[in-house]
A and B are shown apart, each in its own frame.
Chain A
């Protein structure tokens, strides 16, 4: 089986899905001739010259026209160059993409994907390292997905393209090329709304997603104690509550590791659901190791914000010794 990095896996997913379904089109800034600034759409323009479009520099325009295309039966995969630049398109996403199905009571809907490189740890300039999943997860009508491995990237992108509703597809920039994985050559899907248990354990449930997965995995491989059950969310919304709750009922302790700022975030929601459904199993409060509530620092200060091995270990210890 081929061993691919995430960029290659995403590229493969796009290519295969475009070959299978002629309604799939790709649009965005620099996605055509240049193949995307991270090369995720590399080679697609050459293979499908009439279905890959370099657009003007206009995020609202990209998403808005994609909505129109989707309404008319196509399956657009729009790219926003960096998650920090999605905000001009928020109106189109929140007021229309998320709402058209409900507004029209199902008479029209938007089968579209909006992809964006997300999160930090790549020492990039302002706005190129944002964790914005909470804005979208909080919007009814949108699905939000964030793969952390090459296999999941291909499977989830395929699912997203085939999904009849708008999917915000966030790609952790840091993981684009840093790890590889065996990825089946043939097409396959990873279901949206289903987390993956990376390793089983009995003493502590650790929940994470996106950029931090690799980091957490590295910490855990070095320590045998405590016995950790590691969950990779893969989908932010809908959230796989069941997997998380089953795990916490087993272990009684939970640590959430999140890059986004902590307050009013995805970790807040997970914590609330655990309190609601696994209260009687808890041996310690749900612990959150999340970003500080501050603006993502520029490259020189980024490391102060991001978690590292030491902070992960400390958090594990805190929740274990409560």
Chain B
């Protein structure tokens, strides 16, 4: 097998993989593995999420949203990575992979459900071969290792991709997951969305390691530092990592170097802990900006289309939120699904619950 692109970038030397620069030009060093049609489709997905982000805060203030996890500035990281997977592969997300979930085929209304506080938002995810969103930070990485380990034992040509943030890499489970993956050479793709912040704690306080990507070396496999705002680079890295895993060559760690332009969640106010200048410096590096420039250069997109698409997105977001609001919470379901068969003591309590409800 020819040397993979991801092997050509040494994290210890701080080398970062990038295909598309901030001005929307391909460096030419490596060819994107995404077709133009796919790139356009994914751009639209990212735009939809950006519009969602912008409307979310207002909606939350109107009481229409309970909580919302913004993804502005990071869209390319999850979209690029997930787009590289097969439908049968498994995704084990953290909780900030909304754009990637939409790219995978989920509806925006479905994505919003768990953020509204309805377990139905979790229950729909496995039908897209995605594990429910994981709240305990870092714990999901072990599940991805377990799933991919099972894939390997069953000799399936599949991989499991897991996401976590820079904060997640500090959790013990991350270490154990990387360790197991290295020892058992599981077909796992670890994707770290390093958006430089874990709520108010900056990346520099999370680890003394110069890069996150280099941590893979400690576990006996390779890690690659990727420009997380470059859709093509993310896609290429993920594709190679997935194929490498599929051919039995084990796990890879991808560090998507990106920035959280918005708040941690709608309950957070970043102005308390970070400077405006900091944020401003990242605006030119916005994934949407460079991709738009690229598409315009290829005459696949125009300002006109941008405007009308924005309106479309607006409407779609409104509709998605309305649909989400219309979703009735299944009250009885709180008793269901603890075991395959409801045990007698719970059955009694459920009957008590039903009686009191009247």
Task: Identify the A interface with B (CB < 8 A).
Answer: 25, 50-51, 53, 55-56, 58, 60-61, 63-74, 76, 88, 91-92, 95-96, 100-109, 140-141, 143, 163-165, 193, 238-239, 241-242
Q: Are A106 and B180 in contact (CB under 8 A)?
A: no
CB of B281 closer than 8 Å to a CB of A = no
Count of A-B residue pairs with CB < 8 Å: 147
> Contacting B338 at CB < 8 Å: which of A74, A91, A102?
A102
A and B contact pairs by CB, cutoff 8 A, 13 listed: A53-B184, A56-B179, A61-B142, A61-B177, A61-B179, A64-B139, A67-B142, A68-B160, A105-B336, A107-B124, A107-B126, A107-B127, A143-B339
Q: How far is the CA of A3 from the CA of B123 in the complex (A)?
A: 48
Q: Are B336 and A106 in contact, CB atoms less than 8 angstroms apart?
A: yes
How does the 8 Å CB contact mask read for B119-153 relative to A, with 1 for contact and 0 for none? 11011111100011001100101111111111101
In the A-B complex, the 6 residue pairs with the smallest Cβ-Cβ separation, listed nearest first, are A68-B146, A64-B142, A61-B176, A105-B123, A65-B146, A72-B150
B145 touches A60 (CB 8 A): no
Report the minimal beta-carbon distance from B346 to chain A, rounded to whole angstroms. 8
Partner of A68, one of B122, B136, B145, B343: B145
> Which residues of A lie under 8 Å from residue B149 when comparing CB positions?
65, 68-69
Q: Are A70 and B338 in contact (CB under 8 A)?
A: no
Contact in complex: B337, A106 (CB < 8 Å): yes
Residues of A within 8 A of B323 (CB): none
Cα of A143 to Cα of B126 in the assembled complex, Å: 24
Does B117 belong to the interface (CB within 8 Å)? Answer: no
Per-position binary interface string of chain B over residues 143-170, scored 1 when its CB falls under 8 Å from any chain A CB and 0 otherwise:
1111111110110000010000000000
**A103 x B119 contact (CB < 8 A):** yes
Closest to B148 in A: A68
Please, how many angstroms separate the alpha-carbon atoms of A51 and B149 in the complex?
A: 11
User: Which residues in A have their C-beta under 8 angstroms from that of B336?
Assistant: 102, 105-106
Chain A residues whose C-beta falls within 8 Å of the C-beta of B13 in the assembled complex: none
Query: What residue in chain A is nearest B142 (Cβ atoms)?
Result: A64
Indicate which residue in A74, A92, A102 contacts B142 across the interface (CB closer than 8 Å). A92
CB of B164 to closest CB in A, whole Å: 13
Whether A106 lies near B123 (C-beta < 8 A) is yes
Chain B nearest Cβ from A272, distance in angstroms: 12
A1 vs B206: C-alpha distance when bound (angstroms): 61
Q: A60-B172, A61-B179, A72-B146 are in contact. Are A241 and B344 (CB under 8 A)?
A: yes
Q: Are B142 and A104 in contact (CB under 8 A)?
A: no
Contact across chains for B179 and A58 when beta carbons are under 8 A apart: yes
Q: Is B173 among interface residues, defined by CB-CB distance under 8 A? A: yes
Contact of B339 (CB < 8 Å), options: A60, A73, A96, A141: A141
- B340 cross-chain contacts in A, Cβ below 8 A: 109, 163-165
Given A61-B180, A71-B147, is A104 in contact with B126 using a C-beta cutoff of 8 Å? yes
Interface of B is mostly: helix
- Cβ contact within 8 Å between B142 and A101: no
Q: Could you tell me if A95 and B136 are in contact, using CB atoms closer than 8 angstroms?
A: yes
Is B173 within 8 A of A105, CB to CB? no
Dominant secondary structure at the A interface: mixed
In the complex, which of the residues B119, B131, B148 contacts A102, with contact meaning CB atoms closer than 8 Å? Answer: B119
CB-contact partner of B132 in A53, A76, A100, under 8 A: A100
Which residue of chain A has its CB nearest to the CB of B156?
A72
Contact B333 A71 (CB under 8 A): no
B300 at the interface (CB under 8 A from A): no
Asked whether, in the complex, the Cβ of B338 is within 8 Å of the Cβ of A107, the reply is no
- B90 in the interface, Cβ–Cβ < 8 Å? yes
B345 interface residue per 8 A CB criterion: yes
A163 to B340 CA separation, bound complex (whole angstroms): 9
B183 is an interface residue with CB less than 8 A from chain A: yes
Report the bound CA distance from A60 to B139 in whole Å: 9
Which residues of chain B are within 8 angstroms of A105 by Cβ–Cβ distance?
119-120, 122-123, 333, 336-337
A72 / chain B contacts, CB cutoff of 8 Å: 90, 146-147, 150-151
* Given A68-B145, A102-B337; A51-B177 close (CB under 8 Å): no
* B252 CB → nearest A CB, Å: 17
B contact residues around A71 at 8 Å (CB): 131, 143, 146-147
Chain A residue at minimal CB-CB distance from B182: A56
Cα distance A102–B136 in the bound complex, in angstroms: 16
Q: Give the residues in chain A near B123, CB-CB below 8 Å.
A: 103-107
Q: Which residue from B125, B153, B333, B344 sits with its C-beta under 8 Å from A74?
A: B153
CA distance A109 to B339 in the complex (A): 9
CA distance A66 to B154 in the complex (A): 15
Instruction: For B153, give its contact among A51, A55, A66, A164 (CB under 8 Å).
Output: A51
Note all chain A residues with C-beta closer than 8 A to B177. Answer: 61, 64-65
Tell me the complex Cα distance, A239–B346, Å.
11
Given A74-B150, A102-B337, A103-B119, the answer on whether A91 and B139 have CB atoms closer than 8 Å is yes
Which residues of the partner chain A approach B135 to less than 8 Å between Cβ atoms?
Answer: 95
Determine which of B141, B154, B184, B338 lies in contact with A140 in the assembled complex, contact meaning CB atoms within 8 Å: B338
Q: How far is the CA of A263 from the CA of B198 in the complex (A)?
A: 39
Instruction: List chain A residues, Cβ under 8 A from B146.
Output: 64-72, 76
A138 to chain B, nearest CB (A): 13
Question: How many Å lie between the Cα of A114 and that of B278 in the bound state?
Answer: 48
Interface pair A60/B173, CB less than 8 Å apart: yes
Chain B minimum-CB-distance residue to A53:
B184
Which of A65, A68, A96 gathers the greatest number of chain B CB atoms within 10 Å? A68
- Chain B residues contacting A58 (CB-CB under 8 Å) are 176, 179-180
Chain A: which residue is nearest B90 at the CB level? Answer: A72
Residues of B within 8 A of A141 (CB): 338-339
Q: Kindly supply a per-residue 1/0 record for chain B positions 59-92, scoring 1 wherever the CB is within 8 Å of any chain A CB and 0 otherwise.
A: 0000000000000000000000000000000101
Question: How many angstroms from the CA of A88 to the CA of B142 in the assembled complex?
Answer: 13
Q: How far is the CB of A141 from chain B (nearest CB, A)?
A: 5
Smallest Cβ distance from B169 to chain A, in angstroms? 15
